[in-house]
Structure 1
Amino acid sequence: MKNLTIYILSFLVIGFVGCKTKTTINQNEAGEVITDYLKANPEYKTAHFKFGEIKFSNTNDMFELGKYKTLASKGLVSLSLKEAKKKFLSKDSSYVYQITLTDKASPLVLKQESDKATVKVIEYVLSDEKPVDFEQVNSSTAKVTVSLKMVTTDFAPFDKEANKNSNFITKTYKLKLSKDEGWKVQK
């Protein structure tokens, strides 16, 4: 009778332990959760990009015109000269260009108005070099710190707040364990 009770209790304990959901997370699993999150919610930096009819003066705006010509050579914008006022033996000539966005630029355009657009200038992707650093706070939450490297887009020259002090950022995400979905980033 005593052995039967021990067998039943052992069976119940094993049954409860076997049904328990996994509440721990390791470095690889945390990296996969962050990678999935970044695919659905990418990190990026934006800038405003002017297009339409834009006037460039020969002396002041040639650098700015060069940025547009680079985009045109990559097929992101079309550039057509509408008007050129060349002054004889003068450096103050002016040019009016019609600049339009092409379909190739659509993945980088977030918001578009009549004469300006909000474009991605930098995208942040998970760095392969620096490992994921995580700390499990309790059985259902964890803090994960990752290094995201900067990947510049073709619109990067239009970033007026270009801060090139670092080519990566460090970001901390809070993970929460859901009974239905497993580990997910908590917003």
Structure 2
Amino acid sequence: MKKFTIYILSLIIISFAGCKTKVTINQDEAGEVITDYLKANPEYKTIRFKFGEIKFNSTNDLFELGKYKSLASKGLVTLDLKQAKKKFLSKDSSFVYQINLTDKASPLVLKQDADRATVKAVTYVLADEKPVNFEQVNSSTAKVTVSLKMITTDFEQFDKEANKNSNFITKTYKLKLDKEEGWRVQK
């Protein structure tokens, strides 16, 4: 009986030792967790983009019309001149354009209304040259600070609040250890 009890206790101890999960994380593993998270949940900045029938005055809105023409040259929108009022011997003429989004713009469009769309102006990806800084808070949580590189889209020129002070942002994510899935970003 004593031998049987020792046998059962040793099986229990071995089974608990075998079920122990890895509770430490290093810099490379933290980088991989953040990279996988960013693939599934990309970081980006959005703007509201106006399209449809838009009136441009030649002196006041010439710069704005140039932005739309650059999008048209890249195939993201179509520009159709509906009406042009040229005033005789005057610089102040007006043009009415019908602006439509094309299929090429669809990966950047998140939400679309009748005359406005929410589009991606800037996307952020994990910077290769900056290291991943992490701090393990306890055995099941860690804070990871990463540098995200800014990649502008063609719609970025319409961003009125564009901050050009840097070409990257830093962001801190909280990682939590899940017993079945391993380290995951906690939302």
Q: TM-score, normalised by structure 1?
A: 0.92
Alignment of 1:91-130 (within 5 A): 91-130=91-130
Report the equivalent of 2:21. 21
Q: Distance in 1 between matches of 2:137 and 2:143?
A: 7
Q: Distance in 1 between matches of 2:70 and 2:89?
A: 27
Offset, 1:13: 6.0
Offset, 1:19: 3.2
User: SS of the counterpart of 2:56?
Assistant: strand
Amino acid at match of 1:69: K
Matched-pair identity in %: 82
Report the equivalent of 1:143. 143
Report the equivalent of 1:50. 50
Alignment of 1:1-40 (within 5 A): 16-40=16-40
Unaligned residue ranges in structure 1 (runs of 5+):
1-7
Report the equivalent of 2:171. 171
Q: TM-score, normalised by structure 2?
A: 0.92
Unaligned residue ranges in structure 2 (runs of 5+):
1-7
Task: Output the aligned Cα RMSD.
Answer: 1.9
Q: Distance in 1 between matches of 2:9 and 2:98?
A: 82
Q: Deviations over 1:5-53 (max 9, x none)?
A: xxx9988766644431111111111001101111111111111110000
Report the equivalent of 1:41. 41
Q: Distance in 2 between matches of 1:48 and 1:119?
A: 6
Offset, 1:87: 1.2
Q: Deviations over 1:70-117 (max 9, x none)?
A: 000000000010011111221001100000000110111111000011
Alignment of 1:51-70 (within 5 A): 51-70=51-70
User: SS of the counterpart of 1:63?
Assistant: helix
User: SS of the counterpart of 1:155?
Assistant: helix
Amino acid at match of 1:99: I
Report the equivalent of 2:156. 156
Amino acid at match of 1:48: R
Offset, 1:126: 0.4
Report the equivalent of 1:132. 132
Q: Distance in 2 between matches of 1:162 and 1:103?
A: 26
Q: Distance in 2 between matches of 1:65 and 1:164?
A: 23
User: SS of the counterpart of 1:138?
Assistant: coil
Amino acid at match of 1:26: N
User: SS of the counterpart of 1:34?
Assistant: helix
**Count of aligned positions:** 183
Amino acid at match of 1:85: K
